[in-house]
Amino acid sequence: MTETKKSFISKEKDFTKITDKNPSHILPEKLTLDSHLQFQCHPGVSCFTACCHNIKIVLTPYDILILRKRLGIPAHEFIMKYTEPTYLEKTDMPGVQIKLTEEKKACPFVTPEGCTVYSDRPSACRYYPVGMADFHEGGSNDAKEEKFFFIVKEPHCKGFEEPKHWTIGEWRADQGVDLRDEMNKEWLRLVMRRKSFGHQASLSEAAKRMFFMASTDLDSFRKFIFESSFLDTYEVDQETLDKIREDDIELMLFSFKYLANTLFGAEGLKIRDEKIKKKVEEIKKRQDEALKKAEQEYLELKAERERLKKEQEKRARELAAQKEAKG
Protein backbone atom coordinates (compact mmCIF):
# COMPACT_ATOMS: atom_id res chain seq x y z
CA MET A 1 0.00 0.00 0.00
CA THR A 2 1.37 3.42 -0.95
CA GLU A 3 1.99 6.13 1.63
CA THR A 4 -0.70 8.25 -0.04
CA LYS A 5 -3.31 5.53 0.41
CA LYS A 6 -2.22 4.89 4.01
CA SER A 7 -2.56 8.58 4.76
CA PHE A 8 -5.95 8.67 3.05
CA ILE A 9 -7.28 5.77 5.14
CA SER A 10 -5.84 7.21 8.35
CA LYS A 11 -7.47 10.57 7.72
CA GLU A 12 -10.75 8.83 6.95
CA LYS A 13 -10.72 6.98 10.30
CA ASP A 14 -9.83 10.13 12.25
CA PHE A 15 -12.62 12.04 10.56
CA THR A 16 -15.16 9.30 11.29
CA LYS A 17 -14.34 9.41 15.01
CA ILE A 18 -14.79 13.17 15.11
CA THR A 19 -18.00 13.41 13.11
CA ASP A 20 -19.80 10.60 14.92
CA LYS A 21 -20.92 13.26 17.41
CA ASN A 22 -22.26 15.37 14.53
CA PRO A 23 -21.88 18.83 16.10
CA SER A 24 -22.75 21.94 14.10
CA HIS A 25 -19.41 23.71 14.73
CA ILE A 26 -20.87 27.06 13.64
CA LEU A 27 -18.98 29.99 15.09
CA PRO A 28 -21.46 32.42 16.74
CA GLU A 29 -20.54 35.50 14.73
CA LYS A 30 -22.38 37.26 11.91
CA LEU A 31 -20.01 38.15 9.09
CA THR A 32 -20.16 40.37 6.02
CA LEU A 33 -18.43 40.18 2.65
CA ASP A 34 -15.64 42.33 4.11
CA SER A 35 -15.04 40.10 7.13
CA HIS A 36 -11.70 38.33 7.50
CA LEU A 37 -11.07 34.62 6.86
CA GLN A 38 -7.86 32.65 7.34
CA PHE A 39 -8.28 29.41 5.43
CA GLN A 40 -6.99 27.37 2.53
CA CYS A 41 -7.60 23.84 1.31
CA HIS A 42 -5.09 22.05 -0.93
CA PRO A 43 -3.49 18.59 -1.29
CA GLY A 44 -0.74 19.52 1.13
CA VAL A 45 -3.13 19.98 4.06
CA SER A 46 -3.06 16.94 6.35
CA CYS A 47 -6.86 16.56 6.36
CA PHE A 48 -7.21 16.84 2.58
CA THR A 49 -10.47 15.15 1.36
CA ALA A 50 -11.44 14.11 4.92
CA CYS A 51 -14.50 16.36 4.69
CA CYS A 52 -15.68 14.31 1.70
CA HIS A 53 -16.50 11.38 4.01
CA ASN A 54 -19.43 10.78 6.35
CA ILE A 55 -21.16 13.87 5.08
CA LYS A 56 -24.60 14.81 3.84
CA ILE A 57 -24.37 16.69 0.54
CA VAL A 58 -27.84 17.78 -0.54
CA LEU A 59 -28.00 18.62 -4.24
CA THR A 60 -29.83 21.59 -5.70
CA PRO A 61 -31.45 21.38 -9.15
CA TYR A 62 -28.50 23.33 -10.58
CA ASP A 63 -26.03 20.89 -9.00
CA ILE A 64 -27.84 17.97 -10.62
CA LEU A 65 -27.94 19.70 -13.99
CA ILE A 66 -24.23 20.52 -13.99
CA LEU A 67 -23.06 17.16 -12.65
CA ARG A 68 -25.12 15.02 -15.00
CA LYS A 69 -23.87 17.11 -17.95
CA ARG A 70 -20.32 16.69 -16.69
CA LEU A 71 -20.83 12.92 -16.64
CA GLY A 72 -22.73 12.90 -19.94
CA ILE A 73 -25.73 10.97 -18.64
CA PRO A 74 -29.49 11.68 -18.41
CA ALA A 75 -30.88 13.12 -15.20
CA HIS A 76 -32.78 9.96 -14.22
CA GLU A 77 -29.62 7.86 -14.60
CA PHE A 78 -27.63 10.29 -12.46
CA ILE A 79 -30.33 10.26 -9.78
CA MET A 80 -30.46 6.46 -9.67
CA LYS A 81 -26.70 5.91 -9.69
CA TYR A 82 -25.28 8.72 -7.57
CA THR A 83 -28.00 9.91 -5.19
CA GLU A 84 -30.44 8.76 -2.54
CA PRO A 85 -33.69 10.33 -1.29
CA THR A 86 -33.81 12.85 1.52
CA TYR A 87 -36.10 15.56 2.86
CA LEU A 88 -35.10 19.21 2.56
CA GLU A 89 -34.49 21.48 5.57
CA LYS A 90 -36.81 19.65 7.99
CA THR A 91 -39.77 19.81 5.61
CA ASP A 92 -41.81 17.22 3.75
CA MET A 93 -40.31 18.40 0.45
CA PRO A 94 -38.45 15.51 -1.22
CA GLY A 95 -34.94 15.94 -2.58
CA VAL A 96 -31.74 14.00 -3.12
CA GLN A 97 -28.33 13.83 -1.54
CA ILE A 98 -25.08 12.31 -2.75
CA LYS A 99 -25.03 8.55 -2.16
CA LEU A 100 -21.84 7.75 -0.25
CA THR A 101 -19.85 4.64 -1.06
CA GLU A 102 -20.79 1.70 1.16
CA GLU A 103 -17.27 0.72 2.19
CA LYS A 104 -15.66 4.08 2.89
CA LYS A 105 -18.75 6.27 3.32
CA ALA A 106 -17.15 8.66 0.88
CA CYS A 107 -18.44 10.87 -1.88
CA PRO A 108 -18.30 8.76 -5.06
CA PHE A 109 -16.36 11.51 -6.81
CA VAL A 110 -13.48 11.76 -4.33
CA THR A 111 -10.10 10.03 -4.61
CA PRO A 112 -6.94 10.33 -2.49
CA GLU A 113 -5.77 12.92 -5.02
CA GLY A 114 -8.90 15.03 -4.68
CA CYS A 115 -12.28 15.62 -6.30
CA THR A 116 -12.71 14.22 -9.80
CA VAL A 117 -15.48 16.73 -10.61
CA TYR A 118 -13.91 19.69 -8.82
CA SER A 119 -14.75 22.35 -11.41
CA ASP A 120 -18.38 21.18 -11.33
CA ARG A 121 -18.59 20.27 -7.63
CA PRO A 122 -21.89 20.80 -5.76
CA SER A 123 -22.87 24.09 -4.16
CA ALA A 124 -22.48 22.73 -0.61
CA CYS A 125 -18.84 21.86 -1.33
CA ARG A 126 -18.13 25.33 -2.69
CA TYR A 127 -19.63 27.15 0.28
CA TYR A 128 -17.57 25.29 2.89
CA PRO A 129 -16.39 26.58 5.35
CA VAL A 130 -18.41 29.77 4.84
CA GLY A 131 -22.14 29.40 5.36
CA MET A 132 -24.75 31.94 4.36
CA ALA A 133 -28.09 32.89 5.89
CA ASP A 134 -30.56 34.55 3.54
CA PHE A 135 -33.75 35.95 5.08
CA HIS A 136 -36.29 36.96 2.46
CA GLU A 137 -39.47 38.30 4.03
CA GLY A 138 -42.81 37.77 2.38
CA GLY A 139 -41.60 35.64 -0.52
CA SER A 140 -41.97 38.31 -3.24
CA ASN A 141 -39.14 39.61 -5.38
CA ASP A 142 -39.32 43.10 -3.87
CA ALA A 143 -39.48 41.88 -0.27
CA LYS A 144 -36.85 42.92 2.24
CA GLU A 145 -33.77 40.71 2.15
CA GLU A 146 -31.12 40.23 4.81
CA LYS A 147 -27.99 38.23 4.08
CA PHE A 148 -25.05 37.44 6.32
CA PHE A 149 -22.34 34.81 6.60
CA PHE A 150 -20.88 32.52 9.25
CA ILE A 151 -17.96 30.13 9.64
CA VAL A 152 -18.23 26.37 10.11
CA LYS A 153 -15.06 25.33 11.93
CA GLU A 154 -14.84 21.57 12.43
CA PRO A 155 -12.11 20.04 14.62
CA HIS A 156 -10.72 17.83 11.87
CA CYS A 157 -10.19 20.72 9.42
CA LYS A 158 -6.60 21.97 9.28
CA GLY A 159 -7.32 24.49 6.56
CA PHE A 160 -7.76 27.16 9.23
CA GLU A 161 -4.09 26.72 10.18
CA GLU A 162 -2.92 27.69 6.69
CA PRO A 163 -1.46 31.21 6.31
CA LYS A 164 -3.74 32.30 3.46
CA HIS A 165 -5.93 35.32 4.28
CA TRP A 166 -9.08 36.41 2.46
CA THR A 167 -12.17 38.49 2.91
CA ILE A 168 -15.40 36.51 2.77
CA GLY A 169 -16.12 38.17 -0.56
CA GLU A 170 -12.75 37.13 -1.99
CA TRP A 171 -13.22 33.55 -0.81
CA ARG A 172 -16.67 33.33 -2.36
CA ALA A 173 -15.43 34.76 -5.65
CA ASP A 174 -12.57 32.25 -5.70
CA GLN A 175 -15.03 29.39 -5.18
CA GLY A 176 -17.48 30.58 -7.85
CA VAL A 177 -20.28 30.89 -5.32
CA ASP A 178 -22.07 33.95 -6.71
CA LEU A 179 -23.33 32.06 -9.77
CA ARG A 180 -24.54 29.23 -7.53
CA ASP A 181 -26.36 31.72 -5.32
CA GLU A 182 -28.17 33.13 -8.33
CA MET A 183 -29.05 29.72 -9.75
CA ASN A 184 -30.20 28.29 -6.40
CA LYS A 185 -31.94 31.37 -5.01
CA GLU A 186 -35.56 30.82 -6.06
CA TRP A 187 -35.46 27.10 -5.33
CA LEU A 188 -34.09 27.68 -1.84
CA ARG A 189 -36.82 30.22 -1.23
CA LEU A 190 -39.39 27.56 -2.05
CA VAL A 191 -37.85 25.31 0.58
CA MET A 192 -37.65 28.09 3.17
CA ARG A 193 -41.22 29.13 2.48
CA ARG A 194 -42.42 25.58 3.02
CA LYS A 195 -40.31 25.33 6.17
CA SER A 196 -41.91 28.48 7.57
CA PHE A 197 -45.30 26.72 7.59
CA GLY A 198 -44.02 24.11 10.03
CA HIS A 199 -46.36 21.20 10.64
CA GLN A 200 -49.50 23.30 10.20
CA ALA A 201 -49.93 22.03 6.66
CA SER A 202 -48.58 19.21 4.56
CA LEU A 203 -48.03 18.74 0.85
CA SER A 204 -50.22 16.30 -1.01
CA GLU A 205 -48.54 13.27 -2.54
CA ALA A 206 -49.18 14.71 -6.00
CA ALA A 207 -47.48 17.98 -4.99
CA LYS A 208 -44.49 16.08 -3.62
CA ARG A 209 -44.13 14.11 -6.85
CA MET A 210 -44.32 17.28 -8.92
CA PHE A 211 -41.76 19.08 -6.74
CA PHE A 212 -39.39 16.12 -6.96
CA MET A 213 -39.70 15.80 -10.73
CA ALA A 214 -39.23 19.52 -11.37
CA SER A 215 -36.27 19.66 -8.96
CA THR A 216 -34.38 16.59 -10.13
CA ASP A 217 -35.32 15.60 -13.67
CA LEU A 218 -35.60 18.43 -16.17
CA ASP A 219 -35.98 15.97 -19.05
CA SER A 220 -39.23 14.69 -17.54
CA PHE A 221 -40.36 18.20 -16.64
CA ARG A 222 -39.85 19.31 -20.25
CA LYS A 223 -42.02 16.40 -21.42
CA PHE A 224 -44.61 17.39 -18.85
CA ILE A 225 -44.78 20.88 -20.36
CA PHE A 226 -44.80 19.97 -24.03
CA GLU A 227 -46.46 16.55 -24.05
CA SER A 228 -49.25 16.96 -21.50
CA SER A 229 -52.19 19.35 -21.19
CA PHE A 230 -49.93 21.92 -19.50
CA LEU A 231 -50.01 24.40 -22.38
CA ASP A 232 -53.77 23.99 -22.66
CA THR A 233 -54.00 25.18 -19.07
CA TYR A 234 -51.33 27.89 -18.79
CA GLU A 235 -50.55 30.87 -20.99
CA VAL A 236 -46.85 30.82 -21.89
CA ASP A 237 -45.48 33.27 -24.44
CA GLN A 238 -43.66 31.95 -27.49
CA GLU A 239 -40.31 33.45 -26.51
CA THR A 240 -40.37 31.57 -23.20
CA LEU A 241 -41.45 28.36 -24.94
CA ASP A 242 -38.55 28.62 -27.37
CA LYS A 243 -36.12 29.11 -24.49
CA ILE A 244 -37.31 26.28 -22.27
CA ARG A 245 -37.54 23.89 -25.21
CA GLU A 246 -33.78 24.10 -25.80
CA ASP A 247 -32.13 25.69 -22.75
CA ASP A 248 -31.93 23.60 -19.57
CA ILE A 249 -31.11 26.54 -17.32
CA GLU A 250 -34.09 28.52 -18.62
CA LEU A 251 -36.23 25.42 -18.08
CA MET A 252 -34.92 25.07 -14.52
CA LEU A 253 -35.73 28.70 -13.71
CA PHE A 254 -39.17 28.25 -15.25
CA SER A 255 -39.74 25.19 -13.05
CA PHE A 256 -39.11 27.31 -9.95
CA LYS A 257 -41.74 29.80 -11.12
CA TYR A 258 -44.19 26.97 -11.79
CA LEU A 259 -43.61 25.40 -8.36
CA ALA A 260 -44.02 28.75 -6.60
CA ASN A 261 -47.31 29.23 -8.41
CA THR A 262 -48.75 25.75 -7.85
CA LEU A 263 -47.50 25.22 -4.30
CA PHE A 264 -47.88 28.71 -2.85
CA GLY A 265 -50.08 30.66 -5.25
CA ALA A 266 -47.31 33.04 -6.27
CA GLU A 267 -47.77 35.20 -9.35
CA GLY A 268 -45.90 34.46 -12.54
CA LEU A 269 -48.05 31.98 -14.45
CA LYS A 270 -51.49 32.75 -15.83
CA ILE A 271 -54.17 30.15 -16.32
CA ARG A 272 -56.01 30.51 -19.62
CA ASP A 273 -59.34 32.33 -19.39
CA GLU A 274 -61.17 29.46 -21.05
CA LYS A 275 -59.73 27.07 -18.47
CA ILE A 276 -60.89 29.32 -15.65
CA LYS A 277 -64.33 29.57 -17.25
CA LYS A 278 -64.47 25.81 -17.69
CA LYS A 279 -63.37 25.29 -14.10
CA VAL A 280 -66.02 27.70 -12.84
CA GLU A 281 -68.63 25.87 -14.91
CA GLU A 282 -67.46 22.53 -13.50
CA ILE A 283 -67.69 23.88 -9.96
CA LYS A 284 -71.15 25.32 -10.64
CA LYS A 285 -72.24 22.02 -12.17
CA ARG A 286 -71.02 20.10 -9.13
CA GLN A 287 -72.76 22.60 -6.86
CA ASP A 288 -76.00 22.25 -8.83
CA GLU A 289 -75.73 18.48 -8.73
CA ALA A 290 -75.06 18.58 -5.00
CA LEU A 291 -78.04 20.89 -4.49
CA LYS A 292 -80.31 18.63 -6.54
CA LYS A 293 -79.08 15.63 -4.60
CA ALA A 294 -79.73 17.42 -1.31
CA GLU A 295 -83.22 18.41 -2.47
CA GLN A 296 -83.95 14.85 -3.54
CA GLU A 297 -82.70 13.49 -0.23
CA TYR A 298 -84.87 16.04 1.58
CA LEU A 299 -87.95 15.03 -0.40
CA GLU A 300 -87.23 11.36 0.22
CA LEU A 301 -86.75 12.02 3.93
CA LYS A 302 -89.97 14.05 4.03
CA ALA A 303 -91.85 11.27 2.28
CA GLU A 304 -90.43 8.71 4.69
CA ARG A 305 -91.51 10.81 7.65
CA GLU A 306 -95.04 11.10 6.19
CA ARG A 307 -95.14 7.35 5.68
CA LEU A 308 -94.02 6.68 9.24
CA LYS A 309 -96.53 9.21 10.55
CA LYS A 310 -99.38 7.53 8.68
CA GLU A 311 -98.26 4.12 9.92
CA GLN A 312 -98.20 5.41 13.49
CA GLU A 313 -101.67 6.95 13.10
CA LYS A 314 -103.01 3.73 11.58
CA ARG A 315 -101.47 1.69 14.36
CA ALA A 316 -102.97 4.04 16.94
CA ARG A 317 -106.43 3.65 15.39
CA GLU A 318 -106.06 -0.12 15.34
CA LEU A 319 -105.05 -0.18 19.01
CA ALA A 320 -107.96 2.10 19.90
CA ALA A 321 -110.38 -0.14 18.01
CA GLN A 322 -109.04 -3.25 19.73
CA LYS A 323 -109.37 -1.58 23.12
CA GLU A 324 -112.94 -0.50 22.36
CA ALA A 325 -113.86 -4.01 21.19
CA LYS A 326 -112.56 -5.53 24.43
CA GLY A 327 -114.31 -2.94 26.57
pLDDT one-digit tens code per residue, 156-182? 899 999 999 999 999 999 999 989 999
Q: 238-246 and 218-227 are packed helices; what angle lies between their axes, rounded to 10 degrees?
A: 140
Q: Residue ranges of the alpha helices (H) in 123-165? A: 123-127
Write down the pTM of the prediction. Answer: 0.75
**Which long-range contacts (C-beta less than 8 Å, at least 24 apart) are formed by 206-211?**
207/262, 207/263, 208/92, 208/93, 208/94, 210/259, 210/262, 211/93, 211/94, 211/259, 211/263
pLDDT in tens, 249-267: 999 999 999 999 999 888 8
Pairing of strands 36-38, 165-167: antiparallel
**Cβ atoms within 10 A of the Cβ of 89, count?**
12
**Cβ atoms within 10 A of the Cβ of 193, count?**
18
Beta bridge partners of 94: 87
Domain spans, the chain? 3-196
Nearest of 132, 122, 134, 129 to residue 58 by alpha carbon:
122
At 11 the pLDDT is 40
**Cβ atoms within 10 A of the Cβ of 246, count?**
10
Nearest of 305, 281, 20 to residue 155 by alpha carbon:
20
Nearest of 224, 188, 226, 196 to residue 209 by alpha carbon:
224
Give me the count of residues in the chain: 327
Q: What is the DSSP letter of 59?
A: P
At 327 the pLDDT is 64
Nearest of 75, 39, 82, 101 to residue 252 by alpha carbon:
75
- Cα 91 to Cα 29: distance, rounded to the nearest angstrom: 26
- Strands annotated E in the chain: 36-38, 83-87, 94-98, 110-111, 114-115, 130-136, 145-151, 165-167, 234-235, 270-271
At 325 the pLDDT is 79
At 106 the pLDDT is 95
> Residues in the chain with pLDDT < 70?
1-24, 135-145, 199, 275-281, 283-284, 327
